[in-house]
Amino acid sequence: MQFYGEFAHYYDRLMEDVDYSAWADHIDNLIKQSGAKGKSILELGCGTGSVTTGLVRLGYEVTGVDISEDMLCEAQKKLEDEKLRALLLCSDMRNLDFEALSPDIVVCACDGFNYITDEDELLKLFGDIYAALPYGGVLVFDLSSYYKLSNILGDNTFTLTEDDIAYIWENYYEPDAETVEMEITFFAKTNGLYKRFEEYHVQKAYKNDKIKSMLGAGGFKEIKALGDFGMSDAAEKSERVFFTALK
């Protein structure tokens, strides 16, 4: 099975209902609300660059990082099509030289940190980001919530059938590890025939208090956990939680 391999070429098609411009606007609002200064953003897990392009349009200087070359190829095409510029780097965020990049702001959208399933690795990552930020810098990221991963995705199966693409998405929740294993089988139509390929993903369900504690241990202050795309504290059944943390 792959990890954002061939799936990268269909990702935007399957996510076409998501308003990524509004997502970038919300991140911009959170940055401004935090009082952070500067325009240099390091975006971790930038994927196909949908949030990246939104942030560039808002006037930020963005460096996007992703572990998948295929996703970055799609991001580069998007930037070129929209005549926008951003630096794209292929790297595992856990191995990145953050201080060499010296960002004013670090952003990770759309579940990026859910993929860090080892708590020690996430704690180290928070510490590395803290060390690289200037005083007054901010980390902004969002997670699929503990509630969403454990109850909505949980042990459920989802399907999609369209003329040129279909998938079967099977989830398996491990309560002891607090992780969801996702097995997705795709059927994509090419030259009149359907090609089958598979993706395997694992995401960790983090409770908000755990993330706040880890951010605090990493040195961050003024830590907030906001529900969905609002400016109020996350509720028990919020499906997406946006965190902001200041240095």
Does residue 50 register a pLDDT over 90? yes
pLDDT of residue 8: 83
pLDDT tens digits along 185-239: 999 888 888 889 999 999 999 999 999 999 999 999 999 999 999 999 999 999 9
Q: Which CATH topology does 148-203 take? A: N-terminal domain of TfIIb (2.20.25)
What is the structure's pLDDT at 3? 63
**Band of residue 2 on the pLDDT scale cut at 50, 70, 90:** low
- Taking the C-alpha atoms of residue 144 and residue 74, their distance in angstroms, rounded to an integer, is 23
**Residues whose CB is less than 8 angstroms from the CB of residue 67 and which lie 6 or more positions away in sequence, other chains included:** 3, 4, 45, 90, 91, 92, 93
For the chain, where do the domains classified as CATH 3.40.50.150 start and end? 8-144+206-246
Enumerate the CATH 2.20.25.110 domain ranges in the chain, comma separated. Answer: 148-203
Confidence of residue 69 (pLDDT cuts 50, 70, 90): very high
Token pair 């325009």 in the structure block, residue: 39
pLDDT at residue 70 above 70?
Answer: yes
Percent of the chain scoring above 70 in pLDDT: 98
> By 3-state DSSP, what share of the chain in percent is helix, strand and coil, each rounded to 5?
35, 35, 30
Tell me the pLDDT band of 9, cut-offs 50, 70 and 90.
Answer: confident
User: At residue 20, does pLDDT exceed 80?
Assistant: yes
pLDDT of residue 107: 98
Cβ–Cβ under 8 Å, residues 57 and 22: no
Fold topology of 8-144+206-246: Rossmann fold (3.40.50)
Task: Residue 139: name the closest of 36, 214, 46 by CA.
Answer: 36
Average pLDDT for the chain: 95
